[in-house]
Amino acid sequence: MGLGIATKSFQCTIEDELAHIVLDQSTRGNPIDGDFCREFALGIAELSERADVRAVLLSARGRLFSVGGDLMSLVKQSDALPGTIKAWTADIHVAIARMVRMRAPVVAAVHGNVAGGSVSLMAAADLIVMAESAKISAAFSRIGFSPDSGSTTTVTRRIGVARARRFFLLGETLDAATALSLGLVDFVVPDGAVRAEAARIATELAAGPTEAFGAIKRLFSQTNDRSFESQLEEEAQTLAAISRTADAQEGVRAFVEKRKPMFSGK
């Protein structure tokens, strides 16, 4: 089963309540271009509303995850460049916002190079599995651009303001060990195991308490916007609401009965 829309920049299938999104323009380095931004916005909008999607696995075909923005296309734009950028970001920013807000956890499997705009895409995932030979490049300032797609928020949430600012100002390239030590990624595995490990984690999440996962995502996304007291109240209200779900009740019963819970995502 797949999406209700046709896409040419990525493939999407849904199996056992896990959505597999695979960037699929490998001959061009899986660029973030107009087609991708538009299709990804539509795809994420659909996935975020589907009851049969309880986790998402994001990966890419080819020798690298993504080169980032499609510079070959942008270089031809000249005076039209600002308008093109606004059109592309209008789509991809909606997609990133929905990806961050959707209840289903998103796991990214990254390999090869992750550059420019694709760093933003990667950082919007909830968990990131990185191949040990991969590199993450903040290429924006190297070409005279500033970051987009929420990366000044999502990267900052992972590694802090000062380190994120340095990363983008200097246009740094980070190896896997450095990215892991900073907290920019969550796991580093051998190159040949990156997709399998990410799939294992995503499969585990797809069988979990989806409503609780959505609540956890939302609570962490707003920690910087609320006072401590406001966050405490939000946690209390959220926990009370989640306690009414079928999965919460199943979890308590399973604990008392000393068995593994069978979550339904409800």
CATH code of the domain in which 107 resides: 3.90.226.10
Q: What is the mean pLDDT of residues 51-58?
A: 97
User: How much is the pLDDT for 9?
Assistant: 94
Domain extent, residue 234, equals 210-256
- For residue 200, being part of any structural domain is answered with yes
CATH of the domain at 244: 1.10.12
Q: Are residues 81 and 192 in the same domain?
A: yes
77: which 2 tokens?
């734009």
- For residue 263, being part of any structural domain is answered with no
- Per-residue pLDDT for 227 more than 80? yes
- For residue 78, being part of any structural domain is answered with yes
**How confident is residue 3, by pLDDT bands cut at 50, 70 and 90?**
low
User: How much is the pLDDT for 81?
Assistant: 84
β-bridge mates for residue 57, sequence order:
20, 107
Does the global pTM surpass 0.75? yes
User: How much is the pLDDT for 6?
Assistant: 65
Domain count, the chain: 2
Q: Are residues 67 and 148 in the same domain?
A: yes
User: How much is the pLDDT for 225?
Assistant: 86
- Per-residue pLDDT for 216 more than 80? yes
Q: Are residues 86 and 121 in the same domain?
A: yes
- For residue 86, being part of any structural domain is answered with yes
127-131 vs 187-189, strand pairing mode: parallel
Mean pLDDT of all residues belonging to the chain:
94
**How confident is residue 2, by pLDDT bands cut at 50, 70 and 90?**
low
- For residue 110, being part of any structural domain is answered with yes
- Least confident span in 14-18, 76-80, 148-152, 187-191: 76-80
- For residue 18, being part of any structural domain is answered with yes
